[in-house]
Structure 1
Amino acid sequence: MHTIDLAYVGRGPHEELVTYIADQEDFYADEGVHVALRDGCTWDAQRLRRGAVIGLGRTVLSRLIDGIPWVALNVNTYRPLFWILARPGISSVADLAGRRLTVHPPHTGPGCFTRIVLRQAGLDPDHDVRTTVRWPGDFGMDLRRLAEGSIDAAVVGDTIAPEAVAAEHGWQVLAFFGDHFRIPTVGVAVDPTHLRPDDPAVEAVVRAHLRALRVIRDDPGTTVRHLRTFLGRHTEDEVRAHYEAYIARQFTTDGRVDSAIGADAITAVAAELGVPATFTAAEFYRTATPAGRPQ
């Protein structure tokens, strides 16, 4: 049996659900690979590059900033699963002008995407919004601060079901990032300097993940049962509604990439970072089906 280190670099179902299903349904074992799942959320790029990584947004930024030749081997979704929640009285992203907003650091995937979404609404993220930078987590502190009124809005990820939380507190869901910005994201990436894309362990992981993607699309009951592991504060109906709105409709089944979407995303991220786009979508997203992967 092959072995591999697989690190996730963010929390929540968008990062972890495919991996979790592949593990719980024994797809890794079926494909002949033992996966050591590692928490790489706080690892630097040099440590991450020695194994396979879940999470393509961060590797796009890392290739642009650090020059590490990451390549993506499958793609789970084009729509980043982040939202802006706001207190009553704020009805659009443009209404955040002069307001207090918690955001992720600008050199992270969600932080960069937030800045792109704010600019699309005509806001300068450095001057028009009063931002507080915080690292991604379970967003419990963001919800507390929203409830007490010390902030007006918060960027949150899918460790919560945002629409259910908004309904509970009488807040607004100002934006779903996937409606404003598309980037092929969340999948398996490797640095060929250390781990070949055609390494048998890597290909076994990708095959297992493609099987998990088909479970997400074709088996709602199994997917919702696993999704509840991540969304423990929510009822089964709330979890199912979140699945139907943001996972069943957003995730791919074949792991492949639309090169035009990839090219636009790389251009947009490079522009936001203020660096040249030094690679093409075809060089980064290598998601054609190789021998041994299911069609």
Structure 2
Amino acid sequence: MHSIDLTYMGSGIHEELIAHVADQEGYFEDEGVHVALRDGAVWKIERVRAGVTIGLGRTLLSRLTDGIQWTALAVNTHRPLFWFLGANGVQSMDDLRGRRLAIHGARTAPGVFGRIVLRKHGLDPDRDLECVERIPGDYQMDLRRLRDGSIDAAYVGSTLAPEQVANEEGFSVLCWVGDHFQIPTVGLVVDPARISLDDPALQALVRANKRALKTIAEQPSLAVKYITSMLGRLTSEEAEQHYERYVRPYFNSDGRVDLKVAQLGVAAVATELGIPVGTADQMYLPAL
């Protein structure tokens, strides 16, 4: 049996769902590959290069800034699963002006995506509001700070379901990033200088990933079961609503990239970072 490391860059169903389904349904074993799923959220990029990673966003930034020739072999979705949540009278994106927003760092992939969406709503993240940078985890500290009023809004990821949290806590869902900005953010990406693109273990991993994508598209009840198990605050009904709103319409069933969407997204990221695009959009070509 072959073996390979697979690293996720952040917790939540955005990065973990497809790998979790492939693992739990035995797809890795069927393909003859042992996959060690690793938490690389705080790893330096050099360590991430040793294996395959799910995080297309961070590797795109690395390709743009470090010149590492990251290459994507599968794209799970073009819709980043991040949301803006408001409290303390913040009920719309316009209400963020002059308020305190907890958000990822400006030079991180989620942070860049968030800043692009802020600008689309006419907000300069450096002048029109106070961006409070924090190291994200499961966002429970953000919820605590929203409750105590030390922040007015938070930019959160898929370790929680925003509508359920908002209803329970009295917060407002201000917007979903995926409605306003599209770019491949999760899938399978590798540095060919470290792992050959025709490596048998890598190819087996890609096949299992695509099979898991097909499963969540064709077996909604199974997908909802896994979402319920991963988002422990949700009832089955709430998990089904989350799946129907954010997963079923937007996760690919075949791992292919929409190159036009990718090119527009990469250009927007490069503009936000103030650097040239170069050949960064070519990282997705194998996923065509």
Under TM normalisation by the shorter chain, which class is it?
A: over 0.9
**How does 1:83-94 map onto structure 2 within 5 Å?**
83-87=83-87, 89-94=89-94
Q: Take 1:253 and 1:155, find their aligned partners in 2: how far apart are those partners? A: 28
Q: Take 2:133 and 2:280, find their aligned partners in 1: how far apart are those partners? A: 31
> TM-score normalized by structure 1?
0.95
Q: Take 1:123 and 1:231, find their aligned partners in 2: how far apart are those partners? A: 31
Secondary structure of 1:266's match? Answer: helix
Q: Take 2:94 and 2:199, find their aligned partners in 1: how far apart are those partners? A: 47
Q: Take 2:92 and 2:103, find their aligned partners in 1: how far apart are those partners? A: 17
Q: Take 2:232 and 2:90, find their aligned partners in 1: how far apart are those partners? A: 28
Identity across matched positions, percent: 54
Q: Give structure 1 regions of 4+ aligned residues with deviation exceeding 2 angstroms.
A: 88-92, 280-285
Alpha-carbon deviations, 1:103-140, whole Å to 9, x = none?
A: 00112111110110111111111111111111121111
2:106 and 2:115 in contact (8 A); partners too = yes
Q: One-letter code of the match for 1:224?
A: V
Alpha-carbon deviations, 1:80-119, whole Å to 9, x = none?
A: 0000000153232122110010000112111110110111
RMSD: 1.1
Shift of 1:158: 0.9
**How does 1:141-180 map onto structure 2 within 5 Å?**
141-180=141-180
Give the structure 2 partner of residue 10 of structure 1: 10
Q: One-letter code of the match for 1:234?
A: L
1:2 and 1:32 in contact (8 A); partners too = yes
For structure 1, which segment, 274-283 or 6-15, has the greater mean C-alpha deviation from structure 2 after superposition?
Answer: 274-283
Q: Take 1:148 and 1:283, find their aligned partners in 2: how far apart are those partners? A: 43
Secondary structure of 1:21's match? Answer: helix
**How does 1:94-133 map onto structure 2 within 5 Å?**
94-133=94-133
Unaligned runs of 5+ in 1: 289-295
Give the structure 2 partner of residue 261 of structure 1: 261
Shift of 1:283: 4.0
Give the structure 1 partner of residue 244 of structure 2: 244
Shift of 1:282: 3.3
2:69 and 2:283 in contact (8 A); partners too = no
Aligned length: 288
Q: Take 2:103 and 2:268, find their aligned partners in 1: how far apart are those partners? A: 19
Residues 283 and 238 of structure 1: is their aligned pair in 2 closer, same or farther, counting only changes over 3 Å? Answer: closer
Alpha-carbon deviations, 1:59-83, whole Å to 9, x = none?
A: 1111011111101111011110000
Q: One-letter code of the match for 1:89?
A: G
Shift of 1:229: 2.1
Residues 58 and 280 of structure 1: is their aligned pair in 2 closer, same or farther, counting only changes over 3 Å? Answer: closer
Q: One-letter code of the match for 2:57?
A: G
